[in-house]
Structure 1
Amino acid sequence: MGGGASPKNRLPEVVGSPGLLEGELVKSLSEVRKPYKPFPLLTNRHVETIFAAFFRSLPNIKYRRECLRMADGGTVALDWPLLDIDSPVGATLILLPGLTGGSDDTYVRHLLRRACKHGWNVVVFNSRGCADSPVTTPQFYSASFTEDLRQVVKHVGTSFPTSRLYAAGWSLGANILVRYLGQEGEHCPLSGAVSLCNPFDLVAADKDFHKGFNNLYDKALARGLRKNIKKHAALFTNIGGEYNIPKATAAKSVRDFDDGLTRVSFGYSSVDDYYYDASSAHSIKDVKIPLLCIQAENDPIAPARGIPRADIEANQNCLLVVTLFGGHLGWVAGNEAPFGCPWTDPLVMQYLEALENLQSNQPSFQRAAKQDGDVETVSVEIR
């Protein structure tokens, strides 16, 4: 699917296996049969990315925070929205923000509010150190690390055993999610997932990060990472080994931070080995549940050349939607543009609800017997 209209009035590109494209699921996605119309003057990839980051509205949402102790002693925070929405709780959706992101980000809150209004039970998974999530061990998170997500899925599923589970991730969160799906394969407890702005090929993304205007994004993300490690500096005192904590705390780029801390924490001999192994493009072929991937052709942080198109098309479970414009976490288009939700939100909900309707006769999450290593709630607060 696509279109021969002018670039600013073109249908999104839809890629998938022939059987999937002709099936009921894709036929139900009316959003992809409408032209993608970027908001006037916001077609430059950097302008759109920056506009969305600084000027998109921030829905007012209060959360109940549940801090979970992981099997290795680390801690993550789950934020459950406290919304005055009178609707029954249906399926459960886990949201994974991007690098240094969390439940306070605009794109997260917009999708969360929409899903809640549709009767979904929603929770934001804040990785270690993100959104003021406690850091209790000298280890943060990485593009390659899926164990925290695995334990969170089990915890949420055990808490709502009669509900089917879904997940949606953005940027680095999308990369972690797709890696997890591939690792779980046929045993994945999720009933469906959505990946947005996934860098897919972290080696290619890293190369682009150091070019031209992209340096500004690199420096901004590095600043957030530096702030995080400095806040918890005591945990890294005299850590020894190959760690280079001074390099991480002074990092001017994400690569410097990853070289000083991340790749060592997760057992890689070099940053390039870490980026290659952590790239979720390798995982697509192993995904066994329905997965929607939404990308922007002009994304400055998740380059289009990294999208594993052939593997997506060969996998009957995977669907790819590519817009010509959108930037990174931008997609300033649709009925609520320029200050409202991203163009992607109605499509994400349309896809998830279509899946939920098609799978209404499928089993929900099955409560597993409690085993050693299960997570435990260590604190609950309102924020």
Structure 2
Amino acid sequence: MSGRLHLATFRPPPGLANRHVQTLLPRLLPRPGVKRDVELLELPDGDFVELAWAHPAPAREDAPLFLLFHGLEGSFASPYARLLLATAARLGWRPVLMHFRGCGDKPNRLPRAYHSGDTADAYWLIGHLAHRYPRALKVAAGVSLGANMLVKLVAEQGGDGLDLAGAIAIGAPLDLAACADSLHQGFSRLYERHLLASLKAKVARRLRAGELPLPLDRRRLAGLDSLRAYDDAVTAPLHGFDGAADYYRRASAGPLLGELELPTLLLHADDDPFMPAGLFERLPHPSASVRVEIARHGGHVGFIEWRDGGLRSWLSRRVGRQLEDWASPAGQEAWPDRLRVTRSDS
């Protein structure tokens, strides 16, 4: 690999390199017991997002803050969420996960949901955290859908538009159309059906209650057999897009990679069953602020390695190392471009 594309250090255990094995393994392994405090953050449009604050939290108000955005139909209960929040907490950071609208314990109020390009709520939250913790260094991470959203937000806001020192994007579907097509092929349809079942169950409840302005009846909703069909019938009309193709084109963050000014780490597996092989070959060259690490194996947000006599998460280890680097002066100087430290005492 060349330029700003680097070979990741992840190595799967012998016999566990298969992309579907790697994708499913995190669901089979023990998860760290992370406790949370729940906060409802009111939004300007009258809706809310649910925050999950891992605790116990650091006593220092200037403790570094780790903000996590989950994937499609993910939540605090997702295996990667528990792992990454626990990793940040162990390092002395203040970890918090933002649930996208309707993904927490309570359904959201407005006749809408969330989508891969929906950056407004994250932007509002980051501004809120800047006022609440003005002296804390802050890093945001996104997983899958949340990763695409985060990359798009970073591109939209430029180098000085966010109170963030850096961003980490994990398994980002940067070409949404190509990823939707990949999920509709072969064994990957298993994941597609799982996601569709969760999405359609939420929509069905809200349709029965008359809460969504969609010309869908129960039979037509049940007949949506792909994410592309779902996005065409539900996601696009709910959020102002002219069909799935328009949504994928306008919400995909891949075309914006060359515009990123904030230090950003992208972690990707080339065998991710949610995405086409060679994803980054079809995207613009990343800017000088971006480091892309591509593993040959790893599946979709899997990255399970053999370490210390057992199966462990390379992903949490790699993210933890990045948080430590960005919290240290040496790590700041080592980044490809620069690390913008946003603490008022810097």
Which residue is 1:321 aligned to? Answer: 293
Matched letter for residue 320 of structure 2: M
Question: Cα–Cα, structure 1 residues 257 and 234, in superposed 2: closer, same or farther, change >3 Å?
Answer: same
Structure 2 residue corresponding to 1:254, chosen from 223, 227, 242 = 227
CA contact (8 A) 2:168 2:264 kept: yes
CA contact (8 A) 1:169 1:195 kept: yes
Distance of 2:97 and 2:155 partners within structure 1: 21
1:80 aligned counterpart, secondary structure: strand
Structure 1 residue corresponding to 2:4, chosen from 13, 16, 22 = 16
Matched letter for residue 280 of structure 1: A
Task: Say if 2:61 is the partner of 1:51.
Answer: no
Matched letter for residue 64 of structure 1: D
Matched letter for residue 295 of structure 1: H
Question: Cα–Cα, structure 1 residues 235 and 15, in superposed 2: closer, same or farther, change >3 Å?
Answer: farther
2:327 aligned counterpart, secondary structure: helix
Distance of 1:272 and 1:163 partners within structure 2: 40
Structure 1 residue corresponding to 2:189, chosen from 190, 215, 221 = 215
Matched letter for residue 205 of structure 1: C
Q: Structure 1 residue 179: deviation in Å? A: 0.5
CA contact (8 A) 2:101 2:107 kept: yes
Which residue is 1:350 aligned to? Answer: 321
Question: Cα–Cα, structure 1 residues 188 and 336, in superposed 2: closer, same or farther, change >3 Å?
Answer: farther
Which residue is 1:36 aligned to? Answer: 10
Distance of 2:309 and 2:319 partners within structure 1: 17
1:226 aligned counterpart, secondary structure: helix
Structure 2 residue corresponding to 1:229, chosen from 190, 203, 208 = 203
Q: Structure 1 residue 277: deviation in Å? A: 1.5
Q: Gaps (5+ residues) in structure 1?
A: 1-12, 22-30, 367-383
Distance of 1:336 and 1:204 partners within structure 2: 38
Question: Cα–Cα, structure 1 residues 163 and 275, in superposed 2: closer, same or farther, change >3 Å?
Answer: same
Q: Gaps (5+ residues) in structure 2?
A: 334-338
CA contact (8 A) 2:155 2:260 kept: yes
Distance of 1:199 and 1:336 partners within structure 2: 32
Distance of 1:87 and 1:72 partners within structure 2: 32
Distance of 1:277 and 1:43 partners within structure 2: 34
CA contact (8 A) 2:61 2:136 kept: no
Q: Structure 1 residue 57: deviation in Å? A: 1.6
Which is bigger in relative contact order (C-alpha 8 A, separation at least 6)?
A: 1
Q: Structure 1 residue 238: deviation in Å? A: 6.7
Which residue is 2:167 aligned to? Answer: 193
1:75-125 deviation line (CA, Å, top 9, x unaligned): 210100123889996211100111000111111111111111111111001
Q: Structure 1 residue 232: deviation in Å? A: 3.2
Task: Say if 2:309 is the partner of 1:331.
Answer: no
Task: Say if 2:154 is the partner of 1:166.
Answer: no
Point out the more displaced range, 126-135 or 288-297: 126-135
Distance of 1:338 and 1:231 partners within structure 2: 42
Q: Structure 1 residue 56: deviation in Å? A: 2.2
Q: Structure 1 residue 70: deviation in Å? A: 1.2
Distance of 1:202 and 1:195 partners within structure 2: 15
Residues paired across the two proteins, number: 335
Matched letter for residue 325 of structure 1: H
Distance of 2:147 and 2:301 partners within structure 1: 12
Point out the more displaced range, 291-300 or 148-157: 148-157
Trace 1:69-84 onto structure 2 (pairs within 5 A): 69-83=42-56
Question: Cα–Cα, structure 1 residues 304 and 168, in superposed 2: closer, same or farther, change >3 Å?
Answer: farther
Distance of 1:216 and 1:144 partners within structure 2: 24
1:213 aligned counterpart, secondary structure: helix
Q: Structure 1 residue 48: deviation in Å? A: 1.8
Q: Cα RMSD (Å) of the superposition?
A: 2.7
Matched letter for residue 294 of structure 1: L
Q: Structure 1 residue 245: deviation in Å? A: 5.8
1:7-38 deviation line (CA, Å, top 9, x unaligned): xxxxxx67518xxx9xxxxxxxxx95xx5321
2:185 aligned counterpart, secondary structure: coil
Distance of 1:174 and 1:249 partners within structure 2: 29
Matched letter for residue 32 of structure 2: P
2:39 aligned counterpart, secondary structure: strand
CA contact (8 A) 1:91 1:163 kept: yes
CA contact (8 A) 2:231 2:243 kept: no
Distance of 1:244 and 1:234 partners within structure 2: 10
Question: Cα–Cα, structure 1 residues 49 and 310, in superposed 2: closer, same or farther, change >3 Å?
Answer: closer
CA contact (8 A) 1:285 1:311 kept: yes
Question: Cα–Cα, structure 1 residues 84 and 238, in superposed 2: closer, same or farther, change >3 Å?
Answer: closer
Distance of 2:210 and 2:309 partners within structure 1: 44
Which residue is 2:336 aligned to? Answer: none
Distance of 1:249 and 1:337 partners within structure 2: 46
Structure 1 residue corresponding to 2:252, chosen from 276, 279, 296 = 279
Which residue is 1:123 aligned to? Answer: 96
